[in-house]
Amino acid sequence: MTTATARAGGSHAAAYGAAALAVLIWGATPAATQLAVDGIDPITAGILRTVLAAVITIPLAIWFKMPRPSGVRQWTLLVVSAASLFIGFPLLFSVGIKQTSVSHASLINAAIPVFTGFFGAIAERRIPGRWWFVGMTSSFVGVGMLIGFRDVGSDGVTLTGDLLCLVSSVFSGLGYVTGTRLALSIGSRASAFWGIGFAGIMLLPLLYVYWGATEWAAVSAISIAAIAYMASANSIIAFFAWYWALAKVGIVRMAPVHFAMPVISLTLAVVVFGEVLTLPLIMSGCVIIAGIAIARKG
């Protein structure tokens, strides 16, 4: 093995490790979001997680003199990634999970790599291998099964909630790709930090409008801790690690790693919320997970 080959292997191993860390953190997103919206208005919760994250990232970006976007192309990438990842996703997902279960939201989040890979293939102007298409199609069919054959008798599970979570996954996939493209020019840390900062500033007027929708005196410490978790680990650490991993290995190749997220999320749904893994959930999960192994061959 040559030195160059060893370095490449080490670089890829580090990239997959960073991606695994991000997925582990994001795996707790449905549970953390549900804990947050149990006491906080869903829209306010979605706004607050980004605004609080921006309070952290903007000073750090300025202090460390992180490169800023320049030119129409880079600013366009920043706006799209910020609007998708830090505005569209948190708002839609927070409102959606209030109308569905953590289990459903967790499995629907598995569609994120489908959209990440799709938008990534377009951005990179490449056609993935046929096994990638087979795997991604299988996983998407699993999500379709979950939504189409949802547990009618389950408490709080609605078609509206499921669809909102699905649309949030589309925004997430688009945001990952545009954010990664921007990271190639200004670095992964700058891309994530300026994206969060831009989105936080844009959401400040909405935070003022929706602040009164929550009885803050009655909000539990758990809900506050959940928001703090999403504003720090979820919105900063995970995004930085994910962007860095995507920039090292590539969007299309890394996308299937995201499929590990539902396993983490479902475990938390059962342990924390006592949700039952029904037959439709198990069947959908099996189809989705099967797509992971298949997609990796592509």
Report the distance separating Cα 238 and Cα 89, nearest Å: 15
Among the ranges given (24-38, 217-231, 254-268, 277-291), the one the predictor scored with the smallest mean pLDDT: 254-268
Closest of 116, 118, 108 to residue 166, by C-alpha: 108
Does 6 score more than 50 pLDDT? no
How much of the chain, in percent, has pLDDT values that exceed 90?
A: 51
What is the structure's pLDDT at 239? 80
Q: Which residue has the higher pLDDT, 43 or 121?
A: 43
Among the ranges given (1-10, 77-86, 123-132, 153-162), the one the predictor scored with the smallest mean pLDDT: 1-10
Query: Which of 175-189, 205-219, 254-268 is predicted most confidently?
Result: 205-219
Residue type, 228: A
Query: CA torsion sign, 14 to 20 to 23 to 24?
Result: negative
Instruction: Note the pLDDT tens digit of each residue in 122-165.
Output: 888 877 788 878 888 888 888 888 887 755 445 678 889 999 99
- Cβ-based neighbours of 174, under 8 Å, separated by 6 or more: 80, 84, 115, 119
Q: What phi and psi, each to the nearest 5 degrees, are found at residue 193?
A: -70, -45
pTM for this model (two decimals): 0.87
Among the ranges given (3-17, 63-77, 137-151, 178-192), the one the predictor scored with the smallest mean pLDDT: 3-17
Closest of 229, 236, 257, 178 to residue 59, by C-alpha: 236
- Cβ-based neighbours of 110, under 8 Å, separated by 6 or more: 139, 142, 143, 258, 259, 261, 262, 288
Per-residue DSSP letter, 278: -
What is the structure's pLDDT at 293? 67
Quote the mean pLDDT of the chain: 87
Closest of 292, 177, 297 to residue 246, by C-alpha: 177
Q: Exposed/middle/buried for 188, CB within 10 Å: 0-12, 13-18, 19+?
A: buried
In order of 27, 160, 166, the CA distances from 100 in angstroms are 17, 8, 12
